[in-house]
Amino acid sequence: MKFEQTHKDLISYLIACIMVLSGIVLAYFSFFILHLIENSILGFISLGITFAGAIFGITQILRDKFKAYEVSTNKAIIKKLKEQEEDKKEDSE
């Protein structure tokens, strides 16, 4: 089975959401069982939020950069093709 980019993004998003939700669940159980939230649980929550932010942010930045590169490349190709057509017209005249 071959993974496409959309599948890879979906898996990354799901893992990021699971990390954040697991941190929230741990904090909930810790607070209602022990009546305090341990430092290790706060650290896990912060790592989960940082990981999720990195996944969402990096994916979006890379997608925007590749789209911008694709647009600029397409414009350059179209410009070059128009120049070649103009050169052929000048040569035929």
Q: Give the domain ranges of the chain.
A: 5-92
Alpha-carbon distance 48 to 16, whole Å? 7
Mean pLDDT of the chain: 83
What are the backbone angles phi and psi of residue 10, rounded to the nearest 5°? -60, -45
31-50 pLDDT, tens digit per residue, is 888 888 888 888 988 988 88
What is the pTM assigned to this prediction? 0.60
* Per-residue confidence band for 70, with pLDDT thresholds at 50, 70 and 90: confident
Inter-residue contact 26 to 44 (CB < 8 Å): yes
Q: What is the pLDDT of residue 53?
A: 85
